[in-house]
Amino acid sequence: MAEATEVASGLLAWFVLHARDLPWRHSRDAYGIWVSEVMLQQTQVQTVIPYWHRWMRQLPTIGDLANAPEEQLLKLWEGLGYYSRARNLQKAARVVTDTHGGNVPSTIADLLELPGVGPYTAGAIASLAYNQPEPLVDGNVARVLTRLRMIEGDPREPETKATLWSIATQLIKATGKLHSVPSTPLARGRFSILNQALMELGATVCTSRAPSCDQCPIRKSCQAFASGAVERFPALAPRVKATRLRYAVVVLRRSGKWFLRQRGAGDVNHGLWEFPQLELRLRPANPVRQVAEWLDITPKSLHPLPRVRHAITRYQITLEVFQASVDKTPVALGDGQWLTTREIEALALTSAHRKIALNAIEPVNIQTD
């Protein structure tokens, strides 16, 4: 295990010199670290930073989170995606309040009981916040370790996953045996430093595309580097090709207000607000007639706004947007509310519908090619 020791000490030394100064690395309480970890699930650091600041300013303690109204949570999460993360965070805050005396637990078993906390996040909280000798494997660590040891399998498969957690555990054990460790204001304790170093290396040096092996502190131990095969790892299976969908979105105005609906329980993104939308067939190309019939208004009253594209995992969605002024609520729209601009600003919309709102309220000049 001399090699694991060398890797661990190399990572620690590198981290204290090259760590990014991320805001949650100054958090001294586990709550701030926990919030950052949940926000960072499948989400990049640069995206998370402003959200984390706003969240911690408005909900500085677990008690604040446990008592916050759902619309505040969703507004704070607006645009981050995976909105169930916000609701799970609050459920977990209530569990912490009710059964852990308001203190974020420090053991893996207790952490795994919390909604929204899985193997990775449990390891992250235990090691980063409490410096417990617990391993973690996220996408970054999987990339670093598959390259380090030339692990051929897909990191998403259970067998490969087990191998990676085992290697991460070896590194934690080696870290525990180091005689001396460097210190940094950005992490407290050797296990916290090691795990953050693994992730930091994956995020900034051992990147998916165009890795900077010349700047890697552990390249002498890296089997893939020695074989000139770094970019062959990790061997991820190709994703399912996205299915294309088209929707018409209607921005209806009536005496200075806009019509929006709230997604209901059981829906994807429930609790979020949106302009009414209608699924379109891919043909015909021009959906004006279909939309006009849906709303029972004349086609000429529909005015196009810039189309908006977005994706929900395996769906690639194009939104064809139309604006119209009406004097009554079209029957087909069902429940919804007529709202002012100011009211809409205070609601949580998906990113696509927030863009539509901005386009409708402050129309951009469309440059024709």
Partner DNA sequence: CATTCGTGGCG
Partner DNA sequence: TCGCCAAGAAT
Binding test (CB under 7 A) with DNA, winner from 65, 352, 356, 357: 352
The DSSP secondary-structure symbol of 111 reads H
Site string for DNA, 37-76 (x = CB under 7 A): x--xxxxxxxx-----------------------------
Residues 155-174 binding DNA (CB under 7 A) are 158
Task: Tokens for 304, please give them.
Answer: 């196009």
Q: Work out the angle at residue 191's Cα, subtended by the Cα atoms of residues 155 and 142, and round it to the nearest 5 degrees.
A: 10
Task: Tokens for 229, please give them.
Answer: 């095969």
118 vs 176, beta carbon nearer DNA: 118
116 binds DNA (CB under 7 A): yes
Residues 199-228 binding DNA (CB under 7 A) are 199-200, 202-203, 208-210
- 3-class SS of residue 262: strand
28 binds DNA (CB under 7 A): no
Min separation Cβ 244 and DNA, Å: 9
Binding test (CB under 7 A) with DNA, winner from 59, 89, 117, 324: 117
Q: Count the Cβ atoms, other than its own, within 10 Å of residue 368.
A: 3
Give the residue among 93, 81, 84, 73 at the shortest CA–CA distance from 32. Answer: 93
81 binds DNA (CB under 7 A): yes
Just list the catalytic residues.
37
Site string for DNA, 283-322 (x = CB under 7 A): ---------------------------xxxxxxx------
175 vs 196, beta carbon nearer DNA: 196
* C-alpha atoms less than 13 angstroms from C-alpha of 122 in its C-beta half-sphere: 13
| CA separation, residue 243 to residues 3, 43, 77 (Å) | 46, 22, 26
Which letter, b or e, does each residue of 68-100 get, where b requires 16 or more Cβ atoms within 10 Å of its Cβ?
Answer: beeebbbbbbbebbbbebbbbbbebbbbbbeee
In degrees and rounded to multiples of 5, residue 177 shows phi and psi of -100, 0
203 vs 292, beta carbon nearer DNA: 203
In whole angstroms, give the CA distance from residue 222 to residue 156.
21
Binding test (CB under 7 A) with DNA, winner from 351, 358, 361, 363: 351
Tokens 């079209």, located at residue:
330
In whole angstroms, give the CA distance from residue 58 to residue 350.
21
201 vs 295, beta carbon nearer DNA: 201
80 vs 302, beta carbon nearer DNA: 80
22 vs 360, beta carbon nearer DNA: 22
Min separation Cβ 68 and DNA, Å: 19
269 binds DNA (CB under 7 A): yes
Site string for DNA, 84-103 (x = CB under 7 A): x---x---------------
266 torsion bin: left (phi>0), alpha (psi -120 to 50), beta (else): left
189 binds DNA (CB under 7 A): no
Min separation Cβ 314 and DNA, Å: 5
Task: Tokens for 156, please give them.
Answer: 């998403």
Q: Which range of residues in 58-66, 82-90, 222-230, 324-332 is near DNA by CB under 7 A? A: 82-90
Taking a C-beta distance cutoff of 8 angstroms, is the pair 312, 247 a contact?
no
The DSSP secondary-structure symbol of 129 reads I
In degrees and rounded to multiples of 5, residue 356 shows phi and psi of -60, -40
Q: Which residues would be at the binding site for DNA (CB under 7 A)? A: 22, 24-25, 36-37, 40-47, 79-84, 88, 114-122, 124, 138-140, 143, 158, 196, 199-200, 202-203, 208-210, 236, 238-242, 268-269, 310-316, 350-352
